[in-house]
Structure 1
């Protein structure tokens, strides 16, 4: 049974821990959320549920935890294919097909990471793959972990610089294992989860998907769109809201918190209580933990 939330409740539905590419452990993340005055927090690490159990074990009084993941997807209706992310809330972590796909993508990230390190070392950049793996602390390995190695080596000063074109943004960027976005929506629904498209209009991140694709995803089972996000301009947020209203989708707001890998703080953007309640009503996988 989840506690009743008042209309002023603060709900952040998109955060990352060291189980993927955040800098706070799951336990530190939930404590930080409580200290930030949040009432509800979603842990949504990339392609993994590894942070769920330690987050539950450390959950402070007064904080409700939504267990989820951010799934790496690809839309193959364009050339080249467009990368996008699907937030999945309250799905069954033991659903066999979804478990297999998440494991495949995590393994692909590790292969990709090691190949990037090989390219760097071939160019005389002294970074250590075992050290990068250790820095990931058993979580999903990603480019932010390689960025930290570049910072430690004194080659760049910030994660943003490491993701520039001279480094991981272009010169040393390799494709990663992703999941077809329509298959991802189907699997999340089959696992009793609620799928929400993350930052769908964030043009500063690169190519965005057309509204027509979102129409098709809504037919396929997409439940909502993330509107309020640091990578959306005011115009982009407004566009997402209008589109969601036309399609009968709900809209969320979230920090996409990564700890010190980003400057955004927990609770920078939040989700309305009525949207949170709609997510709970649609979920059939796991329940929130309070």
Structure 2
């Protein structure tokens, strides 16, 4: 199955914390010369239908997916899942629980921030689209709109940083459970940007458990990964036989990340498609959406 390149396997739309609708994201990918893109909104598949229709119109290949929130101890570890069944009951129940807790967590943080800054929940709602997975980026946008921060980056580095005292964690399953859920739904799991620093990598024994549970690969090509972390990550990937992916983590104007700044080899994308049993990609001249 031919997968046209360049291939960018990690992007976000306004269904979560991107600034473009799924259709606008696909249009942006086409304009940037991207051959195939994966839509991976946080804990949601609500953008799949719109993105698929846009992909069929524009000729951009699409791998529908999701960035599943997972946590081990205090460490947030995101799990990219591709081509799983979006109606799978266990996965759907877990993402519903995550999104519900994300919402209450955001409300708690806004209440805390409002004690020191002029900010209301309505300000955050104004930065979201109906049904979006609400998160800290929307609070950041509200802080920018209120003039408390210049951009998302400054908001995350100051008011929304955990050291500022307003932070509140949200529920997320263990990464091992995330891998199992994605595989049980017929999908293919990849750890998102795991090499921010060498000491943030999953311990070797835990990584072995993830591999045994069905982990497919690691997102080694990502702007947030550190050079030292990537070197160790590549060594571990080689040891465990994990595949390497590359992505932009594009958020529209929400981040500086640009479409296609890191890409995935076509052979790896083809392996993902071959292993997936939950959903089919949309590829040029081969409309395969189920």
> TM-score scaled by structure 2?
0.92
- Asked whether 1:258 is paired with 2:248, we answer no
Residues 201 and 209 in structure 1, CA contact (< 8 A), matched pair in contact too: no
Query: In the TM superposition, what whole-angstrom CA distance separates every residue of 1:208-232 from its partner, at most 9, and x where no partner exists?
Result: 4323321221111111111000011
Residues 82 and 208 in structure 1, CA contact (< 8 A), matched pair in contact too: no
Residues 3 and 36 in structure 2, CA contact (< 8 A), matched pair in contact too: no
Q: State the match for 1:69 in structure 2.
A: 66
- Asked whether 1:126 is paired with 2:80, we answer no
For these two proteins, the number of residue pairs brought into alignment is 280
Q: State the match for 1:14 in structure 2.
A: 10
- Asked whether 1:117 is paired with 2:110, we answer yes
Higher mean C-alpha deviation, range 142-151 or range 170-179: 170-179
> Alpha carbon RMSD of aligned pairs, Å?
1.6
SS in 2 for 1:141: coil
| Distance in 2 (alpha carbons) for counterparts of 1:57 and 1:277 | 21
- Asked whether 1:94 is paired with 2:91, we answer no
Residues 82 and 209 in structure 1, CA contact (< 8 A), matched pair in contact too: no
Q: State the match for 2:36 in structure 1.
A: 40
Gaps of 5+ in 1: none
- Asked whether 1:192 is paired with 2:189, we answer no
Gaps of 5+ in 2: 284-290
Q: 1:161 to 1:169 in 2, by over 3 A?
A: farther
Q: 1:253 to 1:168 in 2, by over 3 A?
A: same
| Distance in 1 (alpha carbons) for counterparts of 2:85 and 2:160 | 38
SS in 1 for 2:17: coil
> TM-score scaled by structure 1?
0.92
